[in-house]
């Protein structure tokens, strides 16, 4: 080591990347070595407090198993367990090879490029996306995580909260009905601020009730745990809705009348009864006639059910109110296992906690006060009927007026009125077609929820164009790629670029996904030689988040619905070690080599939101520094460029009342009735007729109001497949990216649930299983098996086996993570076909019916 | 002065961040956990619950570990009540470990690294100088941080702000107020150690809300 | 592999956490050392009382050997003398003082006994007295080293020091049996046998009494089940009961009136000592801490 006279001791503000929360951190560098990572105390949201993953980032930087130079496969055989026989190559050689390949393919057909990235890659993913769009391919995928995600929730959330995700308003919420979301308990968005705020709320007296098959992070610390059969949350929510609407008559009439499409009149075909100008209509109770929704009304009728001139006019609200009657608490109990008394009590508690009619004055504005929140995310909705589940849960919120008002469930970053000095950045929800809500900013622009993007015959391998709400979901990719012609696609993918994703492992049954890699030349930017790298052709050593500069590691402005905006900069805490290079800068370089610099500049101008005078010129190759500088100046004003950000690390300012509670400041209506799903359906039927394709895409779920429908797991006929397997999140691992982190591995060993298959003690006793036994799960869907050690517990539903979603690695390049007993690769249990996918959001059904047997060993 | 801590089990979300914050602050080798946490289940489904307990040395007012230490390596600092181990004096007889009812102590037989067979990471190289093979180690309330006027790392980092650190001798300090007002308890009070780490029960009446 | 024993990880969440640091791995040296010094002190005393010099000599040797082996347990044996620092509070410290007092004075006394100078000289008398003081310290400290561990109920009993003294005497009597086997005349055979039987009876009685008194303590019951059916049951039944009690008792009783050959004495002595070692091992290994969480949760 070089000796230097100057003893170095500095703290560098930057941003974590061990999960998509992207907390501001600071790294302590002493004589060139990172000796500590802490939360950045300058961040008003996390207040210098971060999770176990973030604290362990040092091991991501210094893991001796990191890839340090480019390698090329010399073994043409690809597959799990086959040694790629890596050969070290120079960067120059790697880039020449890749550029040549990309030029060749682009000349042939640019659509043959597949770009896939992971959520934790964040900003690098944006760069790859820009590269792909510039290249000319529609095949852009959020690998893995996009699948184990809340596609239905995101889409419905965009329609109803003007946001990608929402959060309880912990400042005022008094009753939090939580369908299994670890918000405030160590995962979800804005993790650490939410943890603090949740703790404050609970100390203040907020009641936290969790419905979850597994007593995981949310339920462990909650006031009440309500165990439930996986995939049945919608049944409970619909029964509660029924009770509130039809029996207890507790609902926010005012809200439904003025701020939802509840009063819109619909006909027998389910469509709005539009006027001559194609506008939806409402019934004026005084004039006793329908009028266009934007006319002046004496009195809007919320409930309408009448026949005029032989035509039946009903309000959307009346349709729904009638529809939910079939969901009696008794039926919901039969489906969900939640006792009738509990359902009734929860409905009462939820309804009365909403304090319908009350208001609160904040900063001089009198606003509705609804101190009750309902939250759901991946868990309850990652099922066959994802969108219907999401609409069911949203409906229960909507009827008590829980929509971005004080105390309720608030969209994260729905509205931004800009930094007080510069007025940037600025976006706001607006009123759109049919008088319905348009989001101000949507993180995945092509699939914006409203006005709707209608289905069309797909050109992309993920069928995103066929099913627009799926926004970049991956589950179809391996299926379509196997046989594109079957889906009316006239090319086969030839080359793939992967950044920060390990979807060979994290998507679904790895053996199916593996097939996708076989005939595609894959260039993989990676920290490790992980499972996906083992199936790739060239692997490039990426910089970890502690070694790189990023364009927008602040994409969620730190993910707290209330309190503050906080935009941190991710900058290198140490110079890249060995030959590591950041994927973003390499991609800019590759763009030049492929000859698409003008295109990528044009795309970045749009996707990063550049504005005059910082727009990138067309024919110049920019460095990453220049791009980042342009990004910060465009977003926040001249004074807040890269230089300022490097020094200060964070740009933060308080959120305003009219930002957080935007709903009271934007005149529009929010759908509780999704009429356009019917139009989607009709369009899709047209495509089916016209092409003779996609006939196995069942369109039953394309309906304007919710229902509960069973998953494959609920209808499995074979009695030996008697348990449902689910996975859960833990606050000290993030799926496939932290498995080799030795500190987290140690925590996972200590926490007796993390690496085990958790099975109810009574269930285990019936099967002769004792704690610590090796057991095997066989999936009813795939016939595949996984093995793990049983953990007998009282904390899981007797019909469920639960395991953490982080484990089960097998790559040689991850020696810690790939030892037997380090968790279970749950995805092997997941079947990938339309029957196990929500055909409205392409969310994969993440519960699997399994047969459990005792086996001798790993 | 008597430094102490109150851990609010109602705020705690069982995230192990304290354990890892401690590890990263002190560069402790594998299996050495000055701060740690564990879970135990109580009751039966569906009325089961999990008790999760974050732990650290209690810096007892009557430390049984000090009493049994034959060398005087383990001692209680008069100025602030922090119980420390002088690594130069410790012979590694482990009597203190059998005497501590709270399992706060670890014998470091040799200093292992976290990536077996792959050498020390630069972080380990930088941090392992603080550890002494053949001696007993434990939480020292982050004595170095205290000297700089900072809280112990676990408390400073706890995302739930479940850990309140301060002077128990000062009746108006934050931990003293919590102890008085919220019904704090000590672990194993019958042992007579009088721990300076208190806990607030997970289930307790809420403060009046709006 | 370069990993710590995984037991630390599972111990963290265990309701009844086993005491391991004085029981597992290299702690066997500590068990042997404690056993040896106890038996040695016993051998010294009994040898003196019945005038069996070889027994005293064996006792002294056992104490020395025990001390040496003890060093092997320490993380820093070169710092061993620092353990003298806290006699005011630490029983280990007191034990070390005792040994350091005992070994030289006993050695000097023995030297006199073997003719270097007269055992009746004032010097020898002083040595004798000091060695007896040291011996008493050795007898006492061992039990207290364990008994002060308030969180380990199997050890934390007022009877434990007494029962460890009786064990030391039994060990001493066993050394005397061995000494007898090598003594030309075989005088005092009855005295040795009586001592051995009495010490054995006392030790078994105290052990039983201690367990009986601890029975209503859940943690003690836990330790007992470890003895009865757990991981140390083999050492308890095979080592202590069979090897350490049944075999030597049978030998000693059957030979009370008859003459027993040197081999018999030797076997009785060795099995008795082996049994004591097993007993010590069991007492260390079955030790369990009081649970951190009470039966009804915390507080
Ligand atoms: S919550 Fe996510 S981003 Fe924040 S510190 Fe933890 S891993 Fe890093
Ligand atoms: S860091 Fe805080 S919330 Fe997390 S386990 Fe420790 S005490 Fe509990
Ligand atoms: S907790 Fe244990 S180690 Fe810490 S002061 Fe108390 S007795 Fe000593």
Cβ within 8 Å, pair B68-C19 = no
Check which CATH number belongs to the domain holding A406 and give it: 3.40.228.10
How far apart, in whole angstroms, are the C-alpha atoms of residue A113 and residue A494? 6
User: What residue owns the CA closest to ligand 2's atom 6?
Assistant: B18
| CA–CA separation, A532 and A511 (whole Å) | 12
* Tens-place pLDDT, residues A626-675: 999 999 999 999 999 999 999 999 999 999 999 999 999 999 999 999 99
Helix H, strand E, coil C: the string for A300-345 is ECCCCEEEECCEEEEEHHHHHHHHHHHCCHHHHHHHHCCCHHHHHH
Q: Indicate if A243 and A386 belong to the same structural domain.
A: yes
Query: How many domains is chain C partitioned into structurally?
Result: 1
Domain ranges of chain B: 3-200
Whole-Å CA distances, C10 to A504, A739, B13, C14: 33, 20, 21, 6
Pocket of ligand 3 (CB under 6 A): B 57-60, 63-65, 83, 100, 102, 104-105, 138, 193
Q: What's the pLDDT score for residue C260?
A: 67
Q: Which domain range does residue C203 map to?
A: 18-285
A/B interface, count of CB pairs below 8 Å: 180
What is residue C1's predicted lDDT score, i.e. its pLDDT?
Answer: 37
Would you state the pLDDT for residue C185?
Answer: 64
pLDDT of residue C296: 46
Of A232, A326, A382, residue with least CA distance to A715: A232
Co-location of A369 and A478 in the same domain: no
Closest C-alpha among B90, B15, B22 to residue B57 = B22
Would you state the pLDDT for residue A1? 43
DSSP H or E segment with residue A365: strand A365-368
Q: How confident is the prediction along chain C (299 residues), in pLDDT tens digits per residue?
A: 345 457 889 999 899 999 999 999 899 999 999 999 999 999 999 999 988 889 999 999 999 999 999 999 999 999 999 999 999 999 999 999 999 999 999 999 988 888 777 778 899 999 999 999 999 999 999 999 999 999 999 999 999 999 999 999 999 999 999 988 887 665 678 888 899 999 999 999 999 998 888 888 899 998 888 888 888 899 999 999 999 999 999 988 887 666 667 888 899 999 999 999 999 999 999 999 999 987 544 54
Q: Does A772 touch chain C (CB under 8 A)?
A: no
- What are the angstrom distances between the C-alpha of A443 and each of A21, A395, A612? 15, 24, 22
Q: Is A235 an 8 Å CB contact of chain B?
A: no
Two tokens at C141? 């400290």
Residues constituting chain B: 210
Residue C80: predicted pLDDT = 95
What are residue C62's DSSP bridge partners?
none
Tell me if A648 sits within 8 A of A655, measured CB to CB.
Answer: no
Cβ partners under 8 Å of residue A254, min gap 6: A357, A401
Residue A645 lies in a domain: no
Is A750 close to C6, i.e. CB distance below 8 A? no
Structure confidence at residue A665 (pLDDT): 97
Q: Considering the domain boundaries, does residue C214 fall inside one?
A: yes
pLDDT at residue A148, as a whole number: 74
Q: Which chains touch B (3 or more CB pairs under 8 A)?
A: A, C
- Determine, yes or no, domain membership for C10: no
Distance CA A803, CA A406 (A): 36
Q: In what order do the strands lie in the sheet with B3-8?
A: B163-167, B3-8, B197-200
**Residues of chain B contacting C150 with CB distance shorter than 8 Å:** 64, 99, 101, 191-192
Q: Please, what is the Cα angle at A90 between A88 and A94, to 5 degrees?
A: 95
- Dihedral sign computed on CA atoms, order A765, A768, A773, A775: negative
Q: Is the CB of B152 under 6 A from ligand 2?
A: no
- Enumerate the residues of chain B whose CB falls inside 8 A of the CB of residue A225: 46, 49
Residue A474 inside a domain? The answer is yes
Q: Say if C13 is an interface residue toward chain A (CB within 8 Å).
A: yes
Q: Is the pLDDT of residue B210 over 50?
A: no
* Contact yes or no for A505/A481 (Cβ under 8 A): no
- Residues paired with residue A828 on neighbouring β-strands, in sequence order: none
Tally of CA atoms within 13 A in the half-sphere of A551 that contains its CB: 29
Q: Which atom of ligand 2 is nearest to the CA of B163?
A: 7
C37 occurs within a structural domain: yes
Tell me the pairing of strands A437-438 and B36-42.
Answer: unpaired
Give the closest residue (by CA) to ligand 3 atom 2. Answer: B100
Burial of residue A61 (CB within 10 Å: 0-12, 13-18, 19+) is: buried
Long-range contacts of the stretch C111-119 (C-beta < 8 A, 24+): C113/C53, C113/C56, C114/C53
Is C299 part of a structural domain of the chain?
no
CATH of the domain at C229: 1.20.1630.10
ipTM of the complex: 0.97
Residues A187, A291, single domain; the answer is: yes
* Residue A257 near residue A299, CB atoms below 8 Å: no
Closest atom of ligand 3 relative to the B59 alpha carbon:
5
Q: Is A56 in the pocket of ligand 1 (CB under 6 A)?
A: no
Per-residue buried b or exposed e for C209-235, using 16+ beta carbons within 10 Å of the residue's own CB: ebbeebeebbbbbbbbebbeebebeeb
Closest C-alpha residue for ligand 1 atom 4 = A23
Edge to edge, what strands does the sheet with A311-315 contain?
A265-266, A311-315, A305-308
DSSP run (H or E) holding B125: helix B122-127
Phi, psi of A539 (to 5 degrees): -115, 130
CA distance A8 to A2: 13
Contacts A746 to C, Cβ<8 Å: 9
Give pLDDT, residue C191. Answer: 87
Radius of gyration of chain A (CA): 26
Question: At which residue do the structure tokens 């356009």 appear?
Answer: A676
Q: Are C268 and C243 in contact (CB under 8 A)?
A: no
Contacting chains of A (3 CB pairs or more, <8 Å) are: B, C
Length of chain C: 299
| A789: Cα separation from own chain's centroid | 30
Q: Is the CB of A737 under 6 A from ligand 1?
A: no
A143/A212 same-domain check: no
What is the predicted pLDDT for the residue at A122? 77
Does ligand 2 come within 6 angstroms of the Cβ of B162?
yes
Strand partners, A275: none
Structure tokens at A146: 């996009």
Contacts of B71 in chain C (CB under 8 A): 79, 82-83, 85-86
Is the distance from the beta carbon of residue A13 to the nearest atom of ligand 1 less than 6 Å?
A: no
Predicted local distance difference test score (pLDDT) of residue C299: 45
How much is the pLDDT for B208? 47
For residue C12, the chain A residue with the least C-alpha distance is: A750
Q: Are residues A157 and A141 in the same domain?
A: no
CATH number, position A786 = 2.40.40.20
Q: Supply the CATH number for residue A531's domain.
A: 3.40.50.740
Calpha distance A721→A733 (Å, rounded): 29
Tell me if the bond preceding A425 is cis, omega within 30° of 0: yes
Same-domain status, A222 and A305 = yes
Find the residue in B nearest to C25 (Cα).
B109
Q: Which residue in this structure is represented by tokens 């905006």?
A: A565
Place of tokens 């229902």: A707
Alpha carbon distance B18, B38 (integer Å): 12
The residues of chain A scoring below 70 in pLDDT are: 1-5, 143-147, 445-446, 472-473
The sign one gets for the Cα dihedral A421, A426, A430, A432 is: positive
Interface contact B97-C21, CB threshold 8 A? yes
Question: Who contacts C79 (Cβ-Cβ below 8 Å, separation ≥6)?
Answer: B71, B89, B90, B91
User: Which residues, 6 or more positions from A89, have their beta carbon under 8 angstroms from its beta carbon?
Assistant: A69, A70, A71, A72, A97, A538
Q: What is the pLDDT of residue A97?
A: 98
Decide if A749 and C13 are in contact by the 8 Å CB cutoff.
no
Look at residue B207 in the predicted model and tell me its pLDDT. Answer: 57
Domain count, chain A: 3
Q: Which domain holds residue A167?
A: 151-414+670-680
CA distances (Å), origin B20, targets A360, A523, A546, B10, C128: 41, 35, 18, 20, 58
Say whether residue C21 is in contact with chain B using an 8 A CB cutoff.
yes
A298 with A215, same domain: the answer is yes
CATH of B3-200, one of 3.40.50.280, 1.20.1200.10, 3.30.70.20, 3.40.50.300: 3.30.70.20
Cα B98 to ligand 2 centroid, rounded to whole Å: 27
Is residue A147 within 8 A of residue A119, CB to CB? The reply is no
């Amino acid at each position: 080591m070089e000796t230097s006279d100057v003893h170095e001791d500095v703290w560098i503000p930057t941003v974590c990347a061990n999960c998509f929360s992207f907390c501001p951190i600071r790294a302590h560098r002493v004589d060139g070595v990172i000796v500590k990572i802490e939360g950045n105390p300058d961040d008003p949201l996390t207040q210098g407090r971060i999770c176990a993953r973030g604290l362990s980032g040092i091991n991501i930087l210094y893991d001796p198993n990191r890839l340090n130079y480019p390698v090329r496969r010399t073994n043409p055989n690809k597959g799990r367990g086959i040694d790629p026989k890596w050969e070290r190559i120079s960067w120059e050689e790697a880039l020449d090879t890749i550029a040549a390949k990309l030029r060749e393919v682009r000349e042939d057909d640019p659509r043959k490029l597949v770009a896939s990235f992971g959520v934790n890659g964040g900003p690098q993913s944006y760069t790859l996306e820009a590269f792909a769009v510039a290249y000319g391919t529609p095949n852009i995928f959020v690998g893995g995580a996009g699948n184990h995600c809340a596609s239905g929730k995101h889409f419905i959330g965009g329609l109803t909260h003007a946001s990608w995700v929402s959060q309880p308003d912990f400042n005022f919420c008094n009753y939090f009905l939580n369908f299994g979301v670890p918000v405030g308990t160590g995962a979800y968005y804005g993790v650490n601020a939410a943890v603090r705020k949740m703790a404050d709320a609970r100390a203040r007296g907020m009641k936290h009730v969790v419905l979850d098959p597994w007593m995981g992070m949310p339920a462990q610390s909650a006031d009440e745990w309500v165990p439930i059969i996986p995939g049945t949350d919608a049944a409970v929510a619909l029964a509660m809705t029924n009770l509130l609407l039809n029996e207890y008559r507790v609902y926010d009439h005012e809200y439904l009348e003025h701020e939802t499409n509840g009063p819109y009149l619909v006909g027998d075909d389910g469509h709005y009864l539009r006027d001559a100008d194609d506008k939806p209509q409402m019934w004026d109770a005084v004039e006793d006639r329908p009028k266009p929704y934007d006319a002046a009304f004496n009195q809007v009728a919320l409930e309408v059910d009448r026949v005029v001139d032989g035509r039946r006019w009903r309000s959307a609200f009346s349709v729904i109110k009638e529809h939910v009657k079939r969901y009696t608490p008794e039926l919901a109990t039969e489906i969900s296992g939640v006792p009738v008394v509990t359902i009734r009590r929860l409905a009462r508690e939820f309804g009365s906690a909403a304090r319908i009619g009350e208001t609160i004055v904040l900063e001089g504005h009198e606003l509705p006060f609804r101190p009750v929140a309902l939250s759901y995310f991946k868990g309850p909705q990652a099922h066959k009927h994802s969108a219907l589940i999401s609409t069911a849960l949203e409906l229960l919120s909507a009827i008590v007026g829980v929509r971005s008002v004080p105390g309720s469930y608030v969209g994260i970053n729905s509205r931004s009125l800009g930094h007080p000095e510069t007025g940037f950045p600025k976006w706001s929800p607006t009123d759109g077609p049919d008088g319905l809500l348009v989001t101000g900013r949507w993180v995945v622009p092509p699939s914006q929820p409203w006005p709707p993007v209608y289905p069309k015959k797909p050109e992309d391998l993920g069928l995103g164009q066929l099913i627009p709400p799926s926004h970049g979901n991956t589950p179809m990719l391996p299926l379509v790629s196997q046989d594109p012609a079957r889906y009316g696609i006239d090319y086969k993918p030839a080359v793939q670029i992967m950044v920060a994703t390990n979807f060979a492992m994290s998507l679904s049954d790895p053996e199916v996904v593996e097939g996708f890699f076989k005939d595609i030349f894959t260039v993989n930017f990676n920290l490790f030689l992980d499972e996906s790298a083992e199936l790739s052709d060239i692997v490039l050593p990426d910089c970890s988040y502690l070694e790189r500069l990023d364009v927008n590691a602040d994409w969620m402005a730190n993910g707290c619905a209330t309190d503050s905006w906080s935009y941190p900069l991710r900058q290198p805490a140490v110079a890249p070690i060995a030959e590591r290079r950041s994927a973003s800068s390499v991609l800019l370089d590759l763009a030049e080599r492929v000859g698409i610099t003008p295109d990528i500049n044009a795309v970045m101008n749009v996707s990063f939101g550049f504005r005059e005078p910082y727009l990138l010129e067309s024919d110049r190759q920019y460095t990453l520094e220049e791009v980042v500088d342009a990004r910060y100046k465009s977003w926040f004003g001249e004074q807040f460029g890269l230089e300022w950000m490097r020094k200060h690390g964070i740009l933060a300012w308080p959120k305003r009342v009219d930002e957080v509670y935007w709903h009271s400041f934007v005149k529009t209506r929010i759908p509780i009735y999704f009429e356009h799903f019917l139009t989607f359906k009709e369009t899709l039927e047209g495509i089916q007729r016209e092409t003779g394709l996609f006939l196995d895409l069942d369109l039953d779920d394309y309906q304007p109001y919710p229902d509960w429908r069973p998953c494959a797991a609920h209808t499995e006929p074979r009695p030996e497949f008697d348990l449902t397997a689910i996975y859960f999140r833990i606050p000290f691992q993030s799926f496939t990216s932290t498995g080799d982190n030795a500190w987290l591995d140690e925590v996972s060993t200590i926490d007796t649930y993390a690496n085990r298959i958790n099975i109810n003690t009574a269930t285990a006793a019936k099967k002769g299983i004792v704690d610590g036994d090796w057991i095997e799960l066989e999936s009813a869907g795939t016939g595949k098996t996984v093995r793990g050690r049983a953990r007998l517990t009282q904390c899981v539903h007797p019909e469920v086996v639960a395991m953490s979603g982080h484990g089960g690695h097998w790559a040689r390049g991850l020696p810690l993570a790939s030892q037997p007993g380090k968790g279970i690769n749950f995805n092997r249990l997941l079947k990938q076909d339309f029957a196990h996918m929500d055909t409205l959001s392409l969310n994969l059904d993440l519960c699997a019916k399994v047969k459990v047997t005792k086996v001798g060993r790993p | 002065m008597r430094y102490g801590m109150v851990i609010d089990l109602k705020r705690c979300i069982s995230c192990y961040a304290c354990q890892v914050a401690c590890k990263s602050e002190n560069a402790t080798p594998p299996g050495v956990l000055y701060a740690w946490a564990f879970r135990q289940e109580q009751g039966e489904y569906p009325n089961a619950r999990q008790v999760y307990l974050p732990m650290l040395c209690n810096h007892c007012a009557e430390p049984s570990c000090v009493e049994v230490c034959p060398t005087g390596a383990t001692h209680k600092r008069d100025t602030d009540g922090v119980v420390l181990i002088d690594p130069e004096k410790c012979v590694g007889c482990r009597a203190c470990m059998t005497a501590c009812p709270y399992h706060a102590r670890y014998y470091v037989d040799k200093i292992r690294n976290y990536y077996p067979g792959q050498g020390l990471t630069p972080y380990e190289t930088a941090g392992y100088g603080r550890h002494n093979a053949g001696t007993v180690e434990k939480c020292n309330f982050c004595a170095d941080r205290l000297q700089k006027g900072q809280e112990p790392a676990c408390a400073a980092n706890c995302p739930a702000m479940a850990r309140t650190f301060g002077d128990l001798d000062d009746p108006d300090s934050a931990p003293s107020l919590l102890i008085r007002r919220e019904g704090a308890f000590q672990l194993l009070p019958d042992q007579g150690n009088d721990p300076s780490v208190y806990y607030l029960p997970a289930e307790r009446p809420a403060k009046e809300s709006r | 592999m370069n990993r710590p024993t995984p037991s630390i990880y599972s111990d963290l969440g265990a309701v009844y956490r086993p005491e391991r640091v004085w029981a597992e791995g290299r702690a066997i040296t500590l068990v042997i050392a404690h056993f040896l010094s106890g038996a040695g002190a016993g051998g010294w005393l009994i040898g003196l009382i019945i005038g069996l010099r070889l027994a005293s000599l064996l006792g002294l040797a056992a104490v020395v050997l025990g001390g040496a082996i003890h060093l092997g347990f320490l993380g820093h044996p070169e710092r061993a003398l620092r353990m003298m620092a806290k006699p005011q509070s630490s029983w280990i410290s007191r034990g070390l003082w005792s040994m350091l007092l005992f070994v030289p004075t006993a050695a000097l006394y023995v030297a006199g006994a073997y003719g270097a100078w007269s055992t009746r000289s004032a010097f020898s008398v002083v040595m004798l007295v000091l060695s007896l003081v040291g011996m008493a310290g050795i007898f006492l400290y061992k039990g207290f080293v364990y008994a002060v561990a308030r969180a380990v109920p199997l050890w934390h009993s007022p009877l434990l020091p007494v029962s460890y003294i009786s064990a030391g005497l039994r060990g001493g009597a066993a050394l005397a049996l061995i000494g007898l086997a090598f003594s030309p005349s075989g005088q005092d055979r009855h005295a040795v046998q009586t001592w051995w039987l009495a010490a054995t009876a006392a030790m078994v009685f105290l052990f039983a009494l201690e367990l009986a008194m601890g029975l209503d303590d859940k943690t003690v019951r836990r330790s007992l089940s470890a003895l009865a059916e757990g991981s140390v049951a083999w050492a308890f039944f095979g080592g202590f009961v069979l090897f350490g009690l049944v075999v030597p008792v049978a030998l000693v009783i059957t030979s009370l009136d008859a003459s027993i050959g040197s081999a018999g004495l030797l076997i009785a002595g060795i099995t008795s000592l082996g049994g004591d070692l097993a007993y010590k091992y069991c007492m260390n290994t079955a030790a369990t801490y009081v649970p951190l969480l009470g039966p009804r949760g915390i507080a």
